[in-house]
Amino acid sequence: MLHDFTIDLRFSGIKKFDSKVWLSSPTMHGDEQRWVDEAIQTNWVSTVGENINEVEKQIAEYVGVKHAVALSAGTAALHLAIKLAGEKLYGQARPNVGTLQGHRVFCSDVTFDASINPVAYEDGEAVFIDTEADTWNMDPVALERAFEIYPETKFIVVAHLYGTPGKMAEIKDIADAHGALIVEDAAESLGAKYKLGDRWVETGSLGDYSCISFNGNKIITGSSGGMFLTDCKEDADKVRKWSTQSREVAPWYQHEEIGYNYRMSNIIAGCLRGQIPYLDEHIQQKKMIYERYREGLKDLPVSMNPFDEERSVSNFWMSCLLIDVDAMAPHVRGEMDELWTTEPGKSSPGEILAAIAAFGAEGRPIWKPMHMQPIYKTNAFITTEGNGRGKSNAYISGSGVDVGADIFRRGLCLPSDNKMTAEQQDRVIEIIHRCFQ
């Protein structure tokens, strides 16, 4: 049964939004047009041109890495980063075999599937590492457990969820202790900073190879696009070669390695070039949205997505909330659908998302953890207690920890669009209050 919020008396007096309030949509400024037009006027519309050179230079400088390779998507960047790590560790594979065949990779669990699908593209086996409650990212304690269980593993793929840096100092120390490589997925966190020792550095500079996304919902966008980042020229050159079909130096099309058509076009790069000057402004706007929610929701039994204020500065890409355990109204989820009910003083992600949608605002459930996804249900999942699979026992009460599943169950992403007005945001906050009545 669909709940009709328009006749639910708890919501009386609340007006529908005149125009949709988005989760996180592109924000154009006009400069994008100039560089796209210039590409068209000069006929440099393909995968070579000044816009590409400029965005690579500017992003590398911003993030503080030596080399950036502009690609068609963050997913493409992750694929080539993961393939490169696979080749470094295990050598060049035959053309019909992935570079990670027969090998495990320790992966973030609460993330978008594009972070870790390339492990499967390369025939590797993702082992999902549970999430810590302090930043909602990979738990270093669970990672250490994973190395105890699978000591031969040499590769970690770690993402920064919703623009909040994870516990990278601990994760890097663990990786160093085990001689493991790190691919850092900074797709959502461009502009977020992390204190490594006594040095502040950007996310995107914390992996052996790092990736960012310029997808339309990100903090800045080229309409699409992504980037591979590294300090190693040889590795950047290799990724650039792979991304343009792996051509050898011969006069004809000659191939000694599998190639891809993953390069960014000069048109996309034009759009991105127009966005880069606004990155810090977008971060400021997102920060104000986060703080307005935090203030506006502080009297409710909820908390915002947390970050480590001493060691990190988020880019606040996504504002999220987590409902207190005691304030959760009944809410059950199947694989494809869900059912919730109302209870005085309580609410659920299902109810809040349905309520704000009924008035014209877009939220989203927390990214469903990878270890709960049907496709990855048979992959290993490691928590702070060790093996996270099969933890319940019909004859013993209690079951194991699963922080990611808990955040998915109690959390949700709030409308976080930087064009949302204060009035619109206040109305979203009011709707959430009414859910708890």
- Interface residues with ligand PLP (CB under 6 A) are 73-75, 78, 111-112, 114-115, 159, 185, 187-188, 213, 215, 226
Q: Using CB atoms within 10 A of its CB, is residue 232 exposed (0-12), middle (13-18) or buried (19+)? A: middle
CB nearer to ligand PLP: give 115 or 425.
Answer: 115
Q: Which residue do the tokens 């704000």 mark?
A: 356
Write down the least CB distance from residue 143 to ligand PLP, Å. 18
Rg (Cα) of the chain, in Å, rounded? 22
In whole angstroms, give the CA distance from residue 434 to residue 411.
Answer: 17
CB nearer to ligand PLP: give 273 or 434.
Answer: 273
CB nearer to ligand PLP: give 100 or 264.
Answer: 264
CB nearer to ligand PLP: give 112 or 147.
Answer: 112
In whole angstroms, give the CA distance from residue 188 to residue 218.
Answer: 6
Write down the least CB distance from residue 341 to ligand PLP, Å. 32
Among candidate residues 289, 306, 304, 308, the one with its CA nearest the CA of residue 416: 289
CB nearer to ligand PLP: give 99 or 115.
Answer: 115
CB nearer to ligand PLP: give 203 or 230.
Answer: 203
Write down the least CB distance from residue 121 to ligand PLP, Å. 13
> Would you call 177 helix, strand, or coil by DSSP?
helix
Q: Which tokens go with 254?
A: 């000659």
In whole angstroms, give the CA distance from residue 285 to residue 217.
Answer: 15
Write down the least CB distance from residue 89 to ligand PLP, Å. 21
Please give the residue whose beta carbon sits closest to ligand PLP in the complex.
74
Write down the least CB distance from residue 216 to ligand PLP, Å. 8
Helix or strand holding residue 85 (H, E): helix 74-90
Q: Which residue do the tokens 């990212």 mark?
A: 137
CB nearer to ligand PLP: give 164 or 347.
Answer: 164
CB nearer to ligand PLP: give 263 or 427.
Answer: 263
Residue 61 CA to its chain's centroid (Å): 22
Q: Which tokens go with 103?
A: 């090998």
In whole angstroms, give the CA distance from residue 191 to residue 317.
Answer: 10
167-183 burial, b for 16+ CB within 10 Å, e for fewer?
bbebbbebbeebebbbb
Write down the least CB distance from residue 342 to ligand PLP, Å. 32
Write down the least CB distance from residue 112 to ligand PLP, Å. 4
Write down the least CB distance from residue 63 to ligand PLP, Å. 16
